[in-house]
Structure formats: structure tokens, C-alpha cells
């Protein structure tokens, strides 16, 4: 611990400094009563003039008020606000992750499915925040903590606007210019659609590795935000399906009324783009996914997926398959990915169904949940059924090793050309998910026939599935 760091702040033991800001320090702390790690954010009077201190403390209180009323897995929890010896402090949830800003700075890229997962979590947290009457107003990479999974946590509600608060006045420009909505730059009171604009800028950066409004001077940044329409992301990154152009066009509309009405609408549009479907309200851009679009090279992308934090929920494979089929009727082949992710995140069957239902449009959710209730009963019955008889003895290590070696040898014989051809054929039916699905199929298949049969299982339409298999004489 640094020599000038206090040993305690309030009841909390100071473990080590985590960072230094313009107004104070952030420490890792320890709560001896509850026995948990915490983060302690401080403001020190010695850093600021009297007027600045008053403003900073008001902002601190606002952060505590906003964060303290928000309890969501995608938002850093605020536990306590205090003042001790001229030092105001907030005690918060401790998260061992990294800021999205650092990911961008180091030039790392996300695969498309991870980009969707991060945005899905961000938008879910914003949907919750907005329903609680809290607008963040400074959504930017430095305020998003990325944890293994990937998991997302929104930080710093210091300039948030509470519906019941008079602390924020119209005419005050607050936020980070490259991620601020036009109405914020003009000093007009902003609602939740300003947060959706900022989320749109982050999505653009994740898809293209470019900030659409970054410039050398604040005046130029402001001009771009207010007057310039960014290039469609597929023009910057040709590997992207053009469906994302419509999502970005709507998220970054200059007028709030032309943007998504809610974070939930934004999330559903993203899901449609990932599936290669049209996005409503974007007639000015191309909306169809051409066959083979997903087979374009994405060599600059690096998977950021880390091992799941908890063991996957144990569910009978036949139950999972039935859930996947039911979900796929509403969202297509992405169902397989979401069921697998949900199994890794949910602690029980009810939570798994809730996670899956969140990906379905509201008007179709009731139908899915009705079917899911039947599936859940089967899962409960399966769990309560007597244990099966012991399995036959496993093959000897020598035999098992020989079989594994043969299978591995067969898999190694899949040439890059064969894999690329299979991916291109599948992409004609399932869009950009082909790139993800083929990796799993290659690892599980011992022959080319097994590979294509595995891929065919992701095509919902029976006629299309037959056409796919017929293309390779199966």
C-alpha cells in the first residue's frame, strides 16, 4: 500500500490504491463486518478549490443517489456514501475487470457474437436504469467495466439525471464530447435516448475499431456530432453484414425522435441484424444479407470470450434440445448460441427460461413461455426420476487413446478450403452465425458427412435443410 494511503476510510480497511483521478483516489477496500472486497472512491479537499469542491461533492452525492437506487447485474452497486475529515467517499461493488477503453486502446477486437453479448448486457442495464428514472448521460468506454464471460458493468453515475432531482440544470453541457448526443452538446435536457446514442457510438467502435466523431479539436468533434452522418459500418469494415448499417443509422439519428424508443428496441434490432433480418425504420440503407456474407474474412478479430465464472447448469440434453427448437421458432439459429450461454449463466431452470425469453419480441414471448412451462415440467420430472443403471465399463486407456487419435487425425484432415466451403454454404441459410457454428461442428465431427449433418441441424426450415444436404450429395 502506498505510504500516503490511509489505513481506514470509515469502517473499511484500505487494501491498496487502484487509481488516481483529478479529484481524488480510488482504493480497494475490505468490509470487516460483511467480509467482502469493496472499491472506495474518494474526493479530497486538497485537490480542489472551494467552489470546485462543492460541485464535486454534489456530483458525488448524485452518483450515490443514482447508483444506490439501481440494483442490476449490469450496474456497479453503490453501498454507502460518507464524509470523513474533509474527504467525501463512496463505497462500491468491487469488480476485477478492465475498462472497455483499454480494450480499444490496445487495438483488440471482439468477435461478432461477443459484440452482441456486450451490447445486449449494456442495453439491458440501460433499459432497467431508464425504467427507474435514471439517465446516465456519460456512457463511454471508460465507464464500462468488462469482466470475463464477457460480462459488462456500467460505472460512474456521477452526472446522471434523476427524474426527481433538481441538481442538473438545462443549459449545462456535461459528458464526453465524442460520445455525447447532439441534444447534450446543445445544452438541451436529455432523456434515455441520449444514452442510446452513446451506446450506438460504442457499437460503431466495436464493429469498426473507429470512433465516428473523433477529431483533433472539440469544435470539430461538435461539428461532426451535430452535422455529419457517419459512414455505414460495413463501408469501414467490409466483413460486417450490412444489416448493422441500419442499426447504427437509427441509433445515431440526430433527432431523438428518430432513434430507438427504448434500449429494448435497440437490443431487438441488434438481434435482427445478427440474424440478417431487416431493421424497421431504416429504409435508407440496404437491409438484406446476401448469401455468403458471413464467409468474408475477419482476420483482425480476436475472441475475447473467457471461461464461464460458474459451472453450467445441469440440464438433460434432450430438454436443452427442445428448448433450443422452441426458441429457434422465434429468433432462428441464434437460439443454439443463446441456450448454451444461458446454461452457463443461469443458476436454475427458471432463470434459464427468463434469460431466453428476454431475447424474444414482447408480442411472441407469451407463446414461448407457455411452451417453456411444459418443457420445465419435463425437466423437473427428469430430475426426480430414478438414477439410470450404471454404464458399461469404459474402454481401456489404450483403446480410448487409439480411438481419440483416429478421430483427431480425421478432424485434422479437414482442409481450410473444405471448412471455408462448408461455412459459405451454411451462411446462405443462417447468415453470420455460420462462422460461429462451424467452429463447434469441426471440433465434434470425425468425417465430412458428420460435419455437414451437424451443420444441417441448425437450419430450421426442412426444405432448406434438405437443399443444403443435397448440395453435398447427402
Q: What is the DSSP string of 84-134?
A: ETTEEEEEEE----EEHHHHHHTT----HHHHHHHHHHHHHHHHHHHHTTE
Asked if 259 and 215 count as a contact pair (C-beta separation under 8 A), the reply is no
The side-by-side arrangement of strands in the sheet containing 151-154 is 98-99, 144-147, 151-154
Helix (H, G, I), strand (E, B) or coil at 259: coil
The residues, any chain, with a CB within 8 Å of residue 406's CB and separated by 6 or more, are 446
- Considering only CA atoms, which of 269, 280, 268 is closest in space to residue 365? 268
User: What DSSP state is assigned to residue 163?
Assistant: T
**11 annotated among ligand-binding-site residues:** no
How far, in Å, CA of 13 to CA of 448, rounded? 60
In degrees and rounded to multiples of 5, residue 354 shows phi and psi of -65, -40
First vs last C-alpha separation in the chain: 66
Whether 138 is a known active-site residue: answer yes
Residues 6+ apart with CB under 8 A from 244: 207, 233, 234, 273
> Of residues 31, 138, 156, 195, which has the active-site annotation?
138
List residues forming the annotated binding site. 41
List residues forming the annotated binding site for ATP. 41
Active site residues: 138
Amino acid at each position: 500500500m502506498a505510504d500516503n494511503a490511509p489505513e481506514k476510510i470509515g469502517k473499511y480497511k484500505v487494501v491498496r490504491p487502484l487509481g488516481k483521478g483529478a479529484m481524488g483516489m480510488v482504493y480497494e477496500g475490505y468490509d470487516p463486518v460483511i467480509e467482502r472486497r469493496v472499491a472506495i472512491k474518494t474526493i479530497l479537499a486538497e485537490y480542489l478549490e472551494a467552489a470546485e469542491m462543492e460541485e464535486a461533492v454534489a456530483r458525488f452525492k448524485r452518483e450515490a443517489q443514482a447508483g444506490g437506487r439501481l440494483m442490476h447485474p449490469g450496474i456497479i452497486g453503490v453501498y454507502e456514501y460518507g464524509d470523513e475529515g474533509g474527504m467525501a467517499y463512496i463505497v462500491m461493488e468491487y469488480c476485477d475487470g478492465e475498462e472497455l477503453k483499454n480494450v480499444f486502446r490496445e487495438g483488440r477486437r471482439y468477435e461478432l457474437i461477443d459484440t452482441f453479448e456486450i451490447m445486449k448486457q449494456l442495453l439491458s442495464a440501460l433499459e432497467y436504469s431508464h425504467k427507474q428514472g435514471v439517465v446516465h448521460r456519460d456512457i463511454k468506454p471508460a465507464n464500462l467495466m468488462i469482466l470475463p464471460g464477457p460480462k459488462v458493468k456500467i460505472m460512474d453515475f456521477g452526472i446522471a439525471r434523476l427524474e426527481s432531482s433538481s441538481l442538473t440544470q438545462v443549459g449545462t453541457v456535461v459528458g464526453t464530447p465524442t460520445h455525447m448526443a447532439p441534444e447534450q452538446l446543445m445544452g438541451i435536457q436529455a432523456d434515455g435516448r441520449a444514452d442510446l446514442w452513446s451506446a450506438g457510438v460504442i457499437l460503431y467502435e466495436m464493429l469498426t475499431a473507429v470512433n465516428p466523431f473523433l477529431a483533433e479539436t472539440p469544435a470539430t468533434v461538435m461539428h461532426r456530432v451535430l452535422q455529419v452522418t457517419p459512414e455505414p459500418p460495413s463501408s469501414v469494415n467490409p466483413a460486417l453484414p450490412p444489416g448493422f448499417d441500419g442499426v447504427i443509422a437509427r441509433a445515431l439519428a440526430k433527432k431523438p425522435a428518430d432513434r430507438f424508443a427504448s434500449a429494448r428496441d435497440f437490443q431487438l434490432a441488434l438481434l435482427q441484424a445478427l440474424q440478417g433480418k431487416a431493421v424497421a425504420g431504416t429504409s435508407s440503407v440496404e437491409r438484406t444479407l446476401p448469401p455468403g456474407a458471413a464467409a468474408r474474412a475477419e482476420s483482425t478479430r480476436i475472441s475475447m470470450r473467457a471461461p464461464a465464472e460458474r459451472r453450467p447448469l445441469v440440464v438433460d440434453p434432450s430438454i436443452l434440445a427442445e428448448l433450443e427448437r422452441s426458441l429457434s421458432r422465434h429468433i432462428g439459429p441464434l437460439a443454439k448460441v443463446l441456450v448454451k450461454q444461458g446454461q452457463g449463466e443461469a443458476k436454475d431452470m427458471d432463470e434459464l427460461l427468463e434469460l431466453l425469453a428476454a431475447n424474444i419480441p414482447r408480442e411472441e414471448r407469451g407463446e414461448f413461455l407457455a411452451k417453456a412451462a411444459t418443457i420445465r415440467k419435463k425437466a423437473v420430472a427428469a430430475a426426480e426420476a430414478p438414477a439410470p443403471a450404471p454404464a458399461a465399463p469404459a474402454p481401456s486407456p489404450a483403446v480410448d487413446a487409439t480411438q481419440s487419435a483416429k478421430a483427431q487425425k480425421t478432424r485434422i484432415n479437414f482442409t481450410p478450403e473444405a471448412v471455408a466451403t462448408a461455412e459459405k454454404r451454411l451462411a446462405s441459410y443462417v447468415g453470420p452465425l455460420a462462422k460461429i457454428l462451424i467452429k463447434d461442428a469441426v471440433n465434434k465431427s470425425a468425417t465430412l458427412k458428420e460435419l455437414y449433418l451437424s451443420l444441417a441441424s441448425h437450419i430450421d426450415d426442412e426444405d432448406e435443410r434438405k437443399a443444403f444436404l443435397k448440395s453435398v450429395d447427402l
